[in-house]
Each structure stands twice: as C-alpha cells, then as structure tokens.
Amino acid sequence: MNILEKRFNGITDSTPGEEVIAFFADFRKALEKGEVRAAEKSGNEWKVNLWVKKSIMLGFKSGVLTEMQSGIFSFFDKDTLPVQHFSPVSKVRIVPGGTSIRGGSFVAEGTILMPPAYVNIGAYVDSGCMIDSHALVGSCAQVGKNVHLSAASQIGGVLEPIGALPVIIEDNVFIGGNCGIYEGTIVQANAVIGTGVILNASTPVFDNTTGEFIKKTADKPLIIPKNAVVVSGSRPITSGKGIEKGIHLYCPVIIKYRDTKTNSSVTLEDLLR
C-alpha cells in the first residue's frame, strides 16, 4: 500500500474539504506521471485498483463546476479536473487541431496524437503509440506500448461500476479505423483488429482456426488472444422469425493468427516517431 492509498483510506465524511482537495491534487499528479493506475497486470491477469477508481470519483464529488481556459477555448467542468498541459520535455506530439488530454491521464513519451483525439481521466497510454484523428481513449482504459489506434476508433471507458475492469489493449496491438472496444474487453499483445470491428461483453467472437466461440464468462471478460487477426463477420440467427428470413447477427471472426504477411502490413514506422 503506497502513501496515496493510505491517505485515501483515511478520508471520511468528516474530513475537511481542503484536505480532500489537497489529496486529489496529489493523486491526479500521480496519475499523470503513471505512478498509479486504474488497473495493472498481476502475473497473467489484469486487476482493478479499486482505490484508484474511487479516488477519481472523489475528484468529481469534491470539485465545483467552473469555467476554465485551454488556449483559445473555454470549457466548463469541475475545478478539480483541468485539462492537462504538456511541454516539449514530455516528448509527446500533439498535432494542432483540437486534441484534449484530461487531467489525471497518463500519456508516455513517443506517443503521437492526431486532431481531434481525446484521452479521458484515469487512462494510461504507454510509449510509442499513435492515437489517430477522432479517436477516443476512455476513462481508465489501459493502452500498452506501440499501439496504433486508427481514425474514429473508440476504446471504451468505465468508472462505474467501481469494480468493473476497464478496456485493456496490450503491447503492439493494431486497431483499424471505426472500431469500438467496450465493456472491459482485453485485447492481448500483437493482435490486429480489422476496420469496423466492434468488441463488447455480449458479442461472442468466432475463432475460424479452431471452430470455437470466444465469450465472456462470469469471472472473465471477453479476451482476444495474442496475435489474433479479427475481422467483421456474421452468423445466422438460430431462433425466432428471422430464421426463415435468412437474418444474420453481427459476429467478429478471428480469421488467422499473425504471420509475416500481417506484420508487414501493420508495422509502425519509426520514421514517424
């Protein structure tokens, strides 16, 4: 248990407001430095840090709605949650055009953000990533090293329920344009998610190499295996009136596992960095 966690555990309904504000300011800075995270890998499994998510909620509760300024833009939010500001020392490239990185998120050096992109509170974006135009990294989402998040794709966030695992994108994952990854889905290292794929807790994924469906269970989220190449697909409906009409349901499909040909088409360019 670190010092910040001990301070959080000591906060009660009778704790003076200024003490709560001071704690949250220190906590937010720790998030921005990557010193604390909403979720972390323990062995082979990802675990939620409940106190981190609860501390983020405390920041919403203790703040006061106010007008703030970022460059030429005004916005209205809790005064505990300002926009995060960067400098050349951070070695993060934020291309002009409306990108916003909320206070309490971590973006590592070597990452590029194209306009307009948005990174929400509690998110963790590791080094060497490309966050393309109109892309979202939601609250508490965890993104590994050298991840390419293509234009208009969304990594869902989750603050509530407190115990829910956020979306996890591990190292070297390539996510195509217009994708949506939600509801605590874990995409393991080196996977490739094709354009337009939607992954969530209620949609099983068919593995065409094994003939089996990959699903969320009572104790595990939907997990896309390492090196999997996932594309959009469909499957015939099995009940109701849709059978006779030939209706199909959306179904992501693992068509293969990453090979040399796949690597050549999704390799990130060091020259861009």
| Tens-place pLDDT, residues 241-268 | 899 899 999 999 999 999 877 676 676 6
Kind of pairing, strands 205-207 and 212-214?
A: antiparallel
Task: Tell me how far apart the alpha carbons of residues 198 and 146 are, in angstroms, rounded to a whole number.
Answer: 21
Residues shown for the chain? 273
Tracing tokens 């309904």 back to the chain, one arrives at: 13
The pLDDT assigned to 159 comes to: 84
Residue 222: count other Cβ atoms within 10 Å of its Cβ.
Answer: 23
Check residue 27 and give left, alpha or beta (phi > 0: left; psi -120 to 50: alpha). Answer: alpha
Q: Supply the pTM of this predicted model.
A: 0.93
CB contact at 8 A, 153 and 174: no
3-state DSSP assignment of residue 232 = coil
Position 75: which residue type? F
DSSP secondary structure of 254-268: EEEE--HHHHHHHPP
Q: Tokens 């959080």 identify what position?
A: 8
C-alpha–C-alpha distance, residues 163 and 217, integer Å: 16
Kindly compute the dihedral angle of the four CA atoms of residues 93, 96, 101, 106, in this order, to the nearest 10 degrees. 0
Q: Which residues contact 35 (CB under 8 A, 6 or more apart)?
A: none
Position 69 scores a pLDDT of 80
Strand order in the sheet with 124-125: 106-107, 124-125, 142-143, 168-169, 186-187, 223-224
pLDDT confidence bin for 72, thresholds 50/70/90: confident
Give the separation between CA 238 and CA 148, rounded to whole angstroms. 36
Confidence of residue 32 (pLDDT cuts 50, 70, 90): very high
Strand partners, 106: 124
Q: Rounded to a whole number, what is the distance in angstroms from the first to the last CA of the chain?
A: 36
Q: What is the pLDDT of residue 70?
A: 75
Residue type, 28: R
Q: What is the mean pLDDT of residues 145-161?
A: 93
Answer yes or no: are the C-beta atoms of 93 and 112 closer than 8 Å. Answer: yes
Rounded mean pLDDT of the chain?
Answer: 93
Residue 270 — pLDDT band, cuts 50, 70, 90? low
What digits encode the pLDDT tens for the residues 51-66? 999 999 999 999 999 9
Q: Which domains does the chain have, with CATH numbers?
A: 3-68+76-262 (2.160.10.10)
Of residues 232, 230, 214, the one with CA closest to residue 222: 214
Q: What is the DSSP string of 70-107?
A: ETTEEEEEETTSPBP---GGG--EE-SSS-EEBTT-EE
User: What is the spatial distance between Cα 172 and Cα 146, in angstroms, rounded to a whole number?
Assistant: 5
pLDDT (average), residues 43-54: 94
Instruction: Tell me the torsion sign for CA atoms 10, 13, 15, 18.
Output: positive
User: What gap in Å lies between CA 200 and CA 254, rounded to an integer?
Assistant: 15
pLDDT at 216: 96
